[in-house]
């Protein structure tokens, strides 16, 4: 009888150890799920790793462009990503290296969802908040985003804007706020780039009637079944996208 009781006790201990190990793997990056990050380098490493969700624990100063080339969710957790020094660098013809256009670049193989009501604020007169290339895919659920010339620039790839607030600091010399959301011309024309808006608030920019890809305000990024409504916040003109 004593041996049977001992076996039962050891069986309970073994199961408990296995449960603890499983819970650890479920929250550690080595298994899957969520990795919490507090520094720029931790964020770089986590975005390049294999976690399902990368979650900010602190505001982070971005020292260079962040690159996403896999499926991942960025949980801003109410925190801020911003750059204090210029990070923009566009590689010229004949020059080696990789261009840095934004705080976050979604590249080939990348599928990034941003949530958690945080803020991405580019240094004034420097870079965009996001760019998408190589067939990458970006989804923005909420948050506040501040760019220069553009907040989101899509080359060849796609962006879905479901919510959030969008504004720019540096304006285009001829089209002022009209590039807040922008597509590369040839990708817009041949269908390899797209922006679809189903929500959000846009300062001085109407996503349903703008000059991003036209000179006659005929560009419409708003999905069918949704509308963009002009609202005033004091002296500030905004457009709010909602379901029709």
For 1-11, write each residue's pLDDT tens digit. Answer: 444 444 544 44
CA distances from 206 to 9, 151, 158, 201 (A): 67, 14, 19, 9
Residue 7, number of CB atoms within 10 A of its CB: 10
Residue 142 lies in a domain: yes
Residue 11 lies in a domain: no
Q: When comparing pLDDT for 75 and 28, which is higher?
A: 75
Residue 9 lies in a domain: no
Backbone phi, then psi, for 39, in 5-degree steps? -130, 165
Q: What is the pLDDT of residue 119?
A: 98
Residue 134 lies in a domain: yes
Q: Closest Cα partner for 127 from 91, 160, 87, 98?
A: 87
Domain, as residue range, for 117? 59-243
Residue 15 lies in a domain: no
- Segment 32-42 shows an average pLDDT of 94
Alpha carbon distance 79, 126 (integer Å): 21
Residue 12 lies in a domain: no
- Our count of domains for the chain comes to 1
Residue 136 lies in a domain: yes
Please give the model's pTM, rounded to 2 decimal places.
0.87
Q: What is the pLDDT of residue 92?
A: 85
Residue 27 lies in a domain: no
The pLDDT tens digits of the residues spanning 229-240 come to 999 999 999 999
Q: Is a pLDDT exceeding 60 seen at residue 112?
A: yes
Alpha carbon distance 103, 120 (integer Å): 8
Percent of the chain with pLDDT over 70: 87
Q: What is the pLDDT of residue 237?
A: 98
The pLDDT tens digits of the residues spanning 70-83 come to 999 999 999 999 99
CA distances from 32 to 16, 53, 103, 141 (A): 21, 8, 25, 22
């Amino acid at each position: 009888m004593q041996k049977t009781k001992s076996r039962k006790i050891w069986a309970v201990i073994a199961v408990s150890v296995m449960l603890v190990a499983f819970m650890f793997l479920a929250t550690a990056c080595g298994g899957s799920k969520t990795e919490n990050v507090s520094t720029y380098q931790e964020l770089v490493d986590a975005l390049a790793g294999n976690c399902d969700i990368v979650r900010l624990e602190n505001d982070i100063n971005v020292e260079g462009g962040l690159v996403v080339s896999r499926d991942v969710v960025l949980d801003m957790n109410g925190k801020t990503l911003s750059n204090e020094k210029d990070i923009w660098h566009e590689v010229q013809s004949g020059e080696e290296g990789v261009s840095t256009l934004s705080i976050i670049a979604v590249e080939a193989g990348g599928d990034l969802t941003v949530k958690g009501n945080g803020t991405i604020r580019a240094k004034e007169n420097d870079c965009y908040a996001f760019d998408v290339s190589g067939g990458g895919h970006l989804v923005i659920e909420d948050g506040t985003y501040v760019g220069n010339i553009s907040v989101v620039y899509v080359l060849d790839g796609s962006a879905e804007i479901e919510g959030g607030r969008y504004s720019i600091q540096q304006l285009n010399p001829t089209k002022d706020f009209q590039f807040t959301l922008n597509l590369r011309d040839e990708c817009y024309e041949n269908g390899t780039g797209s922006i679809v808006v189903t929500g959000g608030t846009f300062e001085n920019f109407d996503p349903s009637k703008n000059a991003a890809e036209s000179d006659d305000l005929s560009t419409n990024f708003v999905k069918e079944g949704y509308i963009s409504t002009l609202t005033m916040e004091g002296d500030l003109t905004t457009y709010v996208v909602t379901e029709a």
